[in-house]
Amino acid sequence: MLNRCASGFGAIALTALMQEWADATPDASTPDASTPRKAHFPPRVESVIFMYMDGGPSHVDTFDHKPMLAKFDGQDPRQAMGKLEPTQFNNIGKVMKSPWNFARRGESGNWVSDLFPHLANHVDDLAFLKGMTSKFSEHTSANYFLHTGSGFQGRPSMGAWIGYGLGSANQDLPGFVVLNGGLIPPGGLDNFNSGFLPATYQGSIFKPKGDPVANIRRREASSQLQRQKLDLVRELDEQTVAAIGQDDQLESAIKNYETAFRMQTSIPELSEFNEETQQTKDMYGLDAKWAGTDIFARECLLARRLVERGVRFIELTCPGGSGDRWDQHGGLREGHQRNCLSVDQPIAALITDLKQRGLFDSTLLVWTGEFGRTPFAQGNNGRDHNPFGFTLWMAGGGIKGGTSYGETDEWGYKAVQGKREIHDLHATILHLMGIDHERSTFRFSGRDMRLTDVHGYVIHEVLS
């Protein structure tokens, strides 16, 4: 009976969803993605570089030093730590000390493990948030939550919201670029989508090596011929709009055609590293023996070049070649060592390079995963997902470098002081870009929608 009746549920849901999307069709007042717009208040930064460490880095092995793990290494965590929450796989092993040594670095004395020898030199530029939490312990939902403020598919990504709020600072490039090093995170491209916002705000996927965008080079014999074809497509689209009425997908397609046409000139120049000195390339780690370092070095260098050209939001993803990303349920020592080898030198070089070029104070850098990892073992030298407390860091314009805000308990298990959630991170990023997260809304399904929904507080404790 239920099976027979349930077949209609999908149709009902689809009808409702189609009406929601119809309600979201932009009117004449919807801002154009190619037009720069005024911020709500003076921005502290002009661009964001969001370094997404897909899979969930272990905070207790990187930046959150917990001596208790060494003291109780190998013991049953239920006896040592008390009540434990269910984990992703509910496979709770023994308390496991970090395989790496920690030391206080810089004048600030913040803890950094041996995994980050290059980044440790910039510790006084970083603001650590050690009381972060997530609502989800599973990758896909946690990824959606981190990127869109919702644990469910279909919401606009953070980069799309920034584009919607501020428009483009360079009409020859997208305002939201994702540098894909070879791994798309769980949840797929919906992590970078525009959701119910116009499609012109969605993330554009660039490759860090070779042609950044597939099929970007024209195939026509001349640019004049290509221009004529583009004009014909525009005319046909406009005829369709005149016949059926305004349509967001068609309007966005027309604008995307024009952007792609202009990108044919800007993209080859952007991805050409010949003008970079050998010293700069070596500093980042281009052509390093370890392929992951080379890939992420190209992402970081390309990110700096995008910042120079006014791109608002740039996301860096993990290099390909490691199927488990930072998700070491087993083989933590080998996996995290490999991942840090990929990103440590390039990130340190990016900070140095931005400073040398006078861009550091106008750029926000964010380094984070979707959650942390447990202080006890899982499998063979691994750690499970931990959304109850983890660490991220921010640096650049408007950030109080050398600070550490929030704490997890003595085990690194749960946030106990300065507890913050992803909505607070989003509110803070928007704030630094000059956007009031409570005023940046889009009418959808009869409601004014926000990136932060009805939540979110700016984390003033790490702002300068």
Closest CA to 63 of 356, 303, 407, 388: 407
59: left (phi over 0), alpha (psi -120 to 50) or beta: alpha
DSSP string covering 264-275: HHHHHHHT-GGG
* Phi (first) and psi of residue 310, to 5 degrees: 85, 15
pLDDT at 8: 42
Q: How many residues does the chain have?
A: 464
pLDDT at 374: 97
Distance CA 33, CA 48 (A): 17
pLDDT at 231: 76
> How far, in Å, are 36, 268, 345, 427 from residue 172 at the CA level?
13, 12, 30, 28
pLDDT at 10: 42
Distance CA 285, CA 279 (A): 10
Distance CA 453, CA 448 (A): 9
Q: Do 152 and 144 form a contact (C-beta atoms < 8 A)?
A: yes
> How far, in Å, are 11, 200, 270, 385 from residue 1 at the CA level?
17, 45, 60, 39
Distance CA 142, CA 23 (A): 28
pLDDT at 2: 37
Please write the tens of the pLDDT for every residue from 22-69: 444 444 456 666 677 889 999 999 999 999 999 999 999 999 999 999
Closest CA to 208 of 144, 286, 135, 264: 286
| DSSP label at residue 132 | E
Distance CA 168, CA 37 (A): 8
26: left (phi over 0), alpha (psi -120 to 50) or beta: beta
Q: Which one-letter amino acid corresponds to residue 130?
A: K
E-strand spans in 17-164? 47-52, 102-105, 110-113, 126-133
b/e 83-116 (16+ beta carbons within 10 angstroms → b): eeeebbeeebbebbbbebebeebbebebbbbbbb
Distance CA 94, CA 378 (A): 8
Q: Do 126 and 160 form a contact (C-beta atoms < 8 A)?
A: no
**Which ranges of 44-184 does DSSP label H, i.e. alpha helix?**
68-71, 77-81, 139-148, 158-166
- Max CA-CA distance within the chain? 75
Pull the structure tokens for residue 258: 């024009």
Distance CA 462, CA 394 (A): 9
Pull the structure tokens for residue 345: 């030198």
Residue 393 pairs in a beta bridge with 128, 367
Q: Which one-letter amino acid corresponds to residue 389?
A: G
Residue 182 pairs in a beta bridge with 319
Within a 10 A sphere around the Cβ of 211, how many other Cβ atoms?
A: 13
Q: Which fold has domain 34-212+271-367+394-430?
A: Alkaline Phosphatase, subunit A (3.40.720)
Distance CA 139, CA 369 (A): 10
**pTM of the full structure:** 0.87
Residue segments in the chain with a per-residue pLDDT below the cut of 70: 1-34, 214-223, 226, 230, 246-266, 321-323
